[in-house]
Amino acid sequence: MTFDRAEILRRIDSVCGVIEQHAGWAEQHCRLHDVAFQALVEAQVPRLFLPARLGGLEVDPVTCALVCEKLAAADTAAAWHVMVFNAARLMAAQWPEALVEQLWGSDPDTLVAASGHSPLQAVARGDGYVISGRQRFVSGCDHATWLLSPVLIDDTAGMAVMPLAECSIEQNWDTLGMRGSGSSDVVVSEVAVAKLQVVIPNPQTASNALYQGTLYRCPSRIVFATYVPVALSLAARSLDLVAAMVADKTPGGSAGKLRERGIAQLHYGKALALYRSARLLFFQGLEHTWARAVSGDEANALDRADLYLAGTHAVQASAEVVRHAADIAATTMVTKGETLERVGRDMETLRHHGFVNESRYASVAQVHWGAELDYPQLLR
């Protein structure tokens, strides 16, 4: 390890206060506040998964997950930007060095906002391509310099990087939860890009010379470290909130405090077990993946499926924890302005993310049983 985990986490602690102060603004305006965004940059969050040769920290996935978890305790929108910043930096391992240098060679903090919801159309023209279409759910687009999106060139699938200044952001992210993630649509209308900026992915292609560290030998789903901890943090927050509540709250029609009620105790005990076991499974999955990469062993299909299982279960179990908290809190959970109400909204939104929704349990079973895969991305 060339990075200092303790120092990285100390930097995160130093900015959490500022980020928490602007969480309400992000909730109201459906994007991260500029001050909170700058705090993430100062804490070097954009550099977590960037190669050291480009000025990055090149951390292991456990360190990244701990960073995400800490930030989520201050503001889930800010924590979501761990993924916003670092997903493209991981994907760039298979890109030409010249493109990587163009994006981060002079500024390692440059934000490339990515979404893979649906491919844009790319048409060859001159020495490059012209790209058009609409990309949905582009988290962090208001603060990004570049857009990364899948494209179709005739029938060939690829990825393209294009300047966001030449695109149009449609401010239509107005959701139940995760409001501050700023995941608006981006409209692309005949944006011209150089040939270099369109990449046809090839899993057999070796990483470029900038991406030779242990991190880049991990399966692509190591990206779970950049956002799954948001769910775990929401679960932990809900447990803390109800634990503080039960000592003083007296349910209507009851003479005793909520903490004396057996049904509330049952919900809390179940929730606590769910949270602790899900977090343990997830971090064990990250540690196992990292250990395999350090030893030089390539992750096999079962390793990849089990990492996917750990990430999916962390999110889905966290959602169940929050539901237990709701059963304890009752009307507090649905009262606007209550912290627990926002936790519930954020969790309900997050659990439907396509990478970790409930159907991914079935995808894992398909790998273990040797059945036909409905979600091939699981094995990447």
Alpha helices in 205-332 (DSSP H): 228-246, 262-295, 301-329
Q: Say how far apart CA 42 and CA 68 lie, in whole Å.
A: 15
Q: Residue 207's pLDDT is what?
A: 67
Q: Residue 295's pLDDT is what?
A: 95
String of DSSP letters for 292-318: HHHHTPPP-HHHHHHHHHHHHHHHHHH
Q: Say how far apart CA 238 and CA 232 lie, in whole Å.
A: 10
Beta strands in the chain (DSSP E): 112-114, 120-125, 128-138, 146-153, 156-163, 168-170, 184-194, 198-199
Q: Residue 253's pLDDT is what?
A: 65
Residues 6+ apart with CB under 8 A from 34: 143
Q: Residue 81's pLDDT is what?
A: 95
CA atoms within 13 Å, Cβ hemisphere of 319? 18
Q: Say how far apart CA 289 and CA 300 lie, in whole Å.
A: 10
Could you give the domains of the chain? 5-104 (1.10.540.10), 112-199 (2.40.110.10), 218-379 (1.20.140.10)
Phi/psi at 284 (5° precision): -65, -40
Hunting for tokens 């139940």 — which residue is that?
176
Q: Residue 204's pLDDT is what?
A: 63
pLDDT beneath 50, residues of the chain: none
The pTM (predicted TM-score) of the whole model is 0.94
